[in-house]
Structure 1
Amino acid sequence: MRQVRPDQWGSSTPCKEWSVHDLVNHLVYEQLWAPELLAGCTVEQVGDRFDGDQLGDDPVRSWVLAAAAAREAWISPKALIRPVHLSGGRSTSVEYGWQMTLDLGVHAWDLARAIGADERLDPDLARTLLEYAREHLAEFAGSGIFGPSVPVPDDASDQDRLVALLGRTP
């Protein structure tokens, strides 16, 4: 996020309906939800508290603060043993963690692609997220969360397979 130049906030991203600003706002929004959900709040209890623009005049600072709060929530002793209430229903916090990690990993690639930065994900992370995405693809299908899969060559990297599986053109 620190690499986004002022003139790039309105640039398009691989997420067809989002600009760079919209994408970063989504990431901040998701981070803001984490402490609430990991504390046991329901979607109804949180309500529309995080709707709208969360970036203000300093998008990077908004990200740093939201990510720090989410990190603190994730490292709390009860974070991984408490169920969470997601928009799709009750889930384990471990599953929620996987969903968040997939979202962050793929959107890191989206952001890098949009601003012309280094797109490389850690190879172990890409492989692990690809395995997770393959296992859960049926759950994503038709949800609108990700676009339709894009074909890749047989020798494509795990990262290229991951982003293609989730509707991006590597």
Structure 2
Amino acid sequence: MSDDKKTHELLKLAAASASRVVAGAGEIDFGRPTPSPGWDVRELANHFIVWSAYALERRGLRQELGEDVTGRDFVGEADWRAEYETTMDHALEVWSDPKTFEGEIGTGHSAMAAGDIATMLLLETVLHSWDFAKATGQDYVTDPALGEGVLPLVEQWAEMYRQYDGFGEPVEVPAGASAMDRALALSGRDPNWTP
């Protein structure tokens, strides 16, 4: 399987887990703490929604993320769960075309290989949907293949993310921890975090 096809398969697994978390959130206390220091649930939820479904869709289409997305309070809208599902489905469809993985996305110094953008958005989707699940009292349930696929990507990108304060310092986990728990810990998240 090509790297691009593998990334798309992992995106599908990540999207399924993210959609379950969104659907299962129930009544949300938006002021609750989250695993992301300094963010309450509302801030985390809006960031998670933007950088999973909307960024995945727009980057794949070579469109910018405008203020209409980055400044929007998604969770303040009545139909945000259904819209998230629709947008994520469309994003996956965009990336199902192998041509989406070709070339670069962005311009000038901000241009990156399309495959690298997809990988970074995969990590955003997995890590922030885990954050959102924990912050809303849910278990993050996913196919073990997602953890196994994401762990080497977190290992590859961890130092760069830390340089930009995207990841915290690694957290120690027991020997025999799952691949997902090791990926979470390497990103600076405590797999056993509770509010």
Category of TM-score, reference length = shorter chain:
0.7 to 0.9
**Is the aligned partner of 1:28 residue 2:49?**
yes
What is the root-mean-square deviation of aligned Cα atoms in Å? 2.3
Tell me which residue corresponds to 1:11: 32
- Report runs of 4+ in structure 1 exceeding 4 Å deviation: none
TM-score by length of 1: 0.84
Deviation at 1:47, TM superposition (A): 4.1
Of 30, 42, 59 in structure 2, the residue corresponding to residue 37 of structure 1 is 59
Tell me which residue corresponds to 2:166: 145
TM-score by length of 2: 0.74
User: Structure 2: which 5+ runs fail to align?
Assistant: 1-21
Distance 1:146 1:88 in 2: 22
Deviation at 1:120, TM superposition (A): 3.5
Identity of aligned residues (%): 25
Tell me which residue corresponds to 1:127: 148
User: Contact 1:40 / 1:83 at 8 angstroms: preserved in 2?
Assistant: no
Aligned residues: 167
Deviation at 1:163, TM superposition (A): 0.8
Deviation at 1:97, TM superposition (A): 1.3
What is the identity, as a one-letter code, of the residue corresponding to 1:92? A
Q: Which moved more, 1:81-90 or 1:128-137?
A: 81-90
The structure, 1 or 2, with the larger RCO (C-alpha pairs under 8 Å, 6+ apart) is: 2
Distance 2:156 2:107 in 1: 19
Distance 1:86 1:137 in 2: 24
Distance 1:7 1:107 in 2: 16
Question: Structure 1 154/13 Cα, relative in aligned 2: closer, same or farther at 3 Å?
Answer: same
For residues 54-99 of structure 1, what are the alpha-carbon distances to aligned partners after superposition, in whole Å with 9 as ceiling and x for unaligned?
A: 4123331231232133223212452111321189721122111111
Tell me which residue corresponds to 2:90: 69
Tell me which residue corresponds to 2:119: 98
User: Contact 1:28 / 1:62 at 8 angstroms: preserved in 2?
Assistant: no
Of 137, 141, 147 in structure 2, the residue corresponding to residue 116 of structure 1 is 137
What is the identity, as a one-letter code, of the residue corresponding to 2:126? G
Tell me which residue corresponds to 2:68: 49
User: Structure 1: which 5+ runs fail to align?
Assistant: none
Distance 1:61 1:54 in 2: 15
What is the identity, as a one-letter code, of the residue corresponding to 1:32? Y
User: Contact 2:105 / 2:114 at 8 angstroms: preserved in 1?
Assistant: yes
